[in-house]
Amino acid sequence: MRQASALLTNMVSVNEKGWFAKQNLSEVNRIPSCKGTKLLCFRRTILGVRWDVVASRAGLSTLVYSLAESGETVKYSIAATILEAINDLLVEQGSKEVILSDLGWVILEQ
């Protein structure tokens, strides 16, 4: 059993300040014939891999990745880590790299 003071990985303190990234959920941002966030649709249609593959490649827990993919607001560093993992997969497939906005993320300042 964990002690009350044990640190959990991939958790962001509620007092942590900085840049956050949120999925833009507008219809314009969606890939035709795919329902969900652009990140989810990109992973399914372009990468063709399961969500746990991207989470593992990014070094994130599957919970953190699934929150990001479902459109929850995440810390900028998490979005950047996911972007790096996706770009690694794209390079392995011989495709061009993408940027955060290609995955439907909007940068927020808090």
User: In the prediction, which pLDDT does 96 show?
Assistant: 92
User: In the prediction, which pLDDT does 73 show?
Assistant: 87
Residue 7 in domain: no
For 42, the domain range is 36-109
Number of structural domains found in the chain? 1
Residue 45 in domain: yes
> Taking the alpha carbons of 46, 51, 52, 58 in that order, is the dihedral positive or negative?
positive
Residue 55 in domain: yes
Based on DSSP, count helices (H) and strands (E) in the chain, helices before strands.
Answer: 4, 3
- Of the pLDDT bands very low, low, confident and very high (cuts 50, 70, 90), residue 25 is low
Residue 91 in domain: yes
User: In the prediction, which pLDDT does 34 show?
Assistant: 74
Selected residue with higher pLDDT from 21 and 79: 79
Q: Rounded to an integer, what distance in angstroms lies between the CA atom of residue 84 and that of residue 2?
A: 31
Residue 109, strand partner residues: 19
